[in-house]
Amino acid sequence: MQYISTRGQVPPVDFSTAVAHGLAPDGGLYLPETLPDLKPKLADWADLSYPQLCDAFFSLFATDLDRAELSAMIERSYQNFDHAEIAPVRKLSDSLYVLELFHGPTLAFKDFALQLLGNFYEAQIARTGKPISVLGATSGDTGAAAIHGLLGKKGVRTFILYPDGRISPLQERQMTCTGADNVFPLAIKGSFDDAQAAMKTVFEDREFADEIGLSAVNSINLARILAQCVYYLYSFYRLPAALREQTTFVVPTGNFGNVLAGWLLQRMGVPIKGFRVATNQNDILHRLFQTGTYALGDVAPSVAPSMDIQVASNFERFIYYAEGCDPDKVRAIMQTFKSSGQYTFENFDPGTFSSSRTDDAGIASIISEVYRKYSYVVDPHTACGFTDLPEGPNLILATAHPAKFPDTIAEALSVDSTHPSLEALKAKEVVKHFVEPTPEAIKAFMREHKQA
């Protein structure tokens, strides 16, 4: 299996190279040269455990890795989840289900990919003998999951940009209270979009990337997306057989990576009915699917901070397929968006996508209503998924544990939502570094703190 850039200006690479680079050298995002057809495999995979299913799936993509080594990495990646099923499906009613993706080490869906990516990086360092510097940007959960996926990995230095004061205090503590001397949480003044834009510019400097051994943990890294495909397939099998092909997957999303994973799986032949993109008040994706125009707006801080995003970095992968896999069109569209802040698609067809928007008041109301109706506590991001549900069965992806957002939960409910791992952080020292959200400042910091 080879991997190509959405912008089409670099040669295809193997899986390990795509993972190591993260961002393609031409500024595009990697995708498989061809997507496999999973239809002939669906019956055989139905009864596999989560690690077994992940192993079977990745064997189609990581074809340059030793098969036994790949299986061992996957097995290790899911040992620190606190539920036997890894990604359990919770039934709320005969037509409403929740996929719980918060049973990993940092209590967020990002753990599914980043525990695995950490093991991929460890194997890469063992093969090449070269240390790496991992750079990421987070609106809340990615940073903590990346850090914890890389803790204890020899030869790794981890640098995570995040908007100071715009993530929850416990999300920040998960990044800044590790006590590890090779972890650098970098607080910036500004929004997640500012951090992400600076990060992508750093990756485009290939001379610096080679100098520092730069690698990516954001969902620009294709391994993140492929790892997230697995829980869609796993949950598809755990729905009642009669409902599987009738069920809409409802996905709280800001950066488009989570829902893109499910959509790619659908393109591989898995008969998922459709996807509901659930946004908070930062609704660039909702506006796109309603109007066909992808247009920047101001980022408004919300009680669902991981979705406080306007520029969805994974949207470029969607554009590639929506425009007939034409890299020339992708480059033109991305240039138009970069220069004008918007792009209107001709004859836009949302396909199996629909969308919804929920503001802060709506989130609080939903948290209260879901608890009253189902005795179930949802975090503020998952709450967005309950807005204007489509007809028929729905499966809502629960993206984070409610204990990560205690203030929001306490305002909506008279319920104490805590988790032991989060409570333990409150007594630890916060260590963070302040940098300007510019490529020059970030590169200077990384050079100063790179691996000896």
For the chain, which residues make up each domain, given as ranges? 89-108+223-420
- pLDDT tier at 311, thresholds 50, 70, 90: confident
CB-based burial label for 136 (10 Å; 0-12, 13-18, 19+): buried
Terminal C-alpha separation, the chain: 35
Over range 142-148, report the average pLDDT.
Answer: 90
Per the prediction, the chain carries an average pLDDT of 94
- pLDDT tier at 405, thresholds 50, 70, 90: very high
Q: Which residue has the higher pLDDT, 107 or 143?
A: 107
In 3D, which of 135, 108, 17, 18 has the Cα closest to residue 380?
108
DSSP character string of 252-312:
E-SSSHHHHHHHHHHHTT----EEEEEE-S--HHHHHHHHSEEE-------SSGGG--SS-
The pTM of the full predicted model, rounded to 2 decimals, is: 0.93
Q: Please determine, for residue 365, whether its predicted confidence score (pLDDT) is greater than 90.
A: yes
Q: Rounded CA gap, 76 and 78, in Å?
A: 6
> What is the per-residue pLDDT for 452?
57
* Segment 233-260, tens digit of pLDDT: 999 999 999 999 999 999 999 889 999 9
Over range 23-49, report the average pLDDT.
Answer: 97
DSSP character string of 169-223:
HHHHHHHH-S--TTEEEEEESS-HHHHHHHHHHHHH-HHHHHHHTEEE-STTSHH
Pairing relation of β-strands 132-137 and 214-216? parallel
> What is the per-residue pLDDT for 164?
94
Regarding the domain delimited by 89-108+223-420, which CATH topology (the fold level of the hierarchy) does it fall under? Rossmann fold (3.40.50)
Of the chain, the percentage scoring pLDDT greater than 90 comes to 86
Q: Are 398 and 97 in contact (CB under 8 A)?
A: no
> What is the per-residue pLDDT for 417?
84
Q: Rounded CA gap, 340 and 218, in Å?
A: 25
Q: Rounded CA gap, 140 and 125, in Å?
A: 27
As given in the structure block, the two tokens for residue 251 are 């996905």
Residues whose CB falls within 8 Å of the CB of residue 209, separated by 6 or more in sequence, listed in order: 21, 202, 203
Q: Rounded CA gap, 179 and 365, in Å?
A: 38
> What is the per-residue pLDDT for 312?
85
Angle in degrees, CA 220, 228, 7, rounded to 5 = 30
- pLDDT tier at 140, thresholds 50, 70, 90: confident
Over range 91-107, report the average pLDDT.
Answer: 97
- pLDDT tier at 220, thresholds 50, 70, 90: confident
Long-range contacts made by residues 171-174, C-beta under 8 angstroms, separation at least 24? Answer: 171/140, 171/141, 171/143, 171/144, 171/305, 171/306, 171/404, 172/430, 172/432, 173/422, 173/425, 173/426, 173/428, 173/430, 174/106, 174/143, 174/144, 174/147, 174/148, 174/422, 174/425
> What is the per-residue pLDDT for 51?
98
Q: Please determine, for residue 416, whether its predicted confidence score (pLDDT) is greater than 90.
A: no
Long-range contacts made by residues 36-42, C-beta under 8 angstroms, separation at least 24? Answer: 36/60, 36/61, 36/268, 37/268, 37/269, 38/233, 38/265, 38/268, 38/269, 38/270, 39/269, 39/270, 42/269, 42/270
Q: Please determine, for residue 443, whether its predicted confidence score (pLDDT) is greater than 80.
A: yes
Q: Please determine, for residue 451, whether its predicted confidence score (pLDDT) is greater than 80.
A: no
Over range 433-437, report the average pLDDT.
Answer: 96
Q: Which residue has the higher pLDDT, 140 or 422?
A: 422
Question: In the annotation, is 273 catalytic?
Answer: no
Considering 110, 153, 404, 443, which one is annotated as catalytic?
A: 110
Phi, psi of 404 (to 5 degrees): -75, -10
> What is the per-residue pLDDT for 47?
97
As given in the structure block, the two tokens for residue 413 are 């409910």
Over range 334-346, report the average pLDDT.
Answer: 93
As given in the structure block, the two tokens for residue 97 are 């289900």
Query: Which of 22-31, 134-143, 211-220 reaches the highest mean pLDDT?
Result: 22-31
In 3D, which of 319, 297, 306 has the Cα closest to residue 251?
306
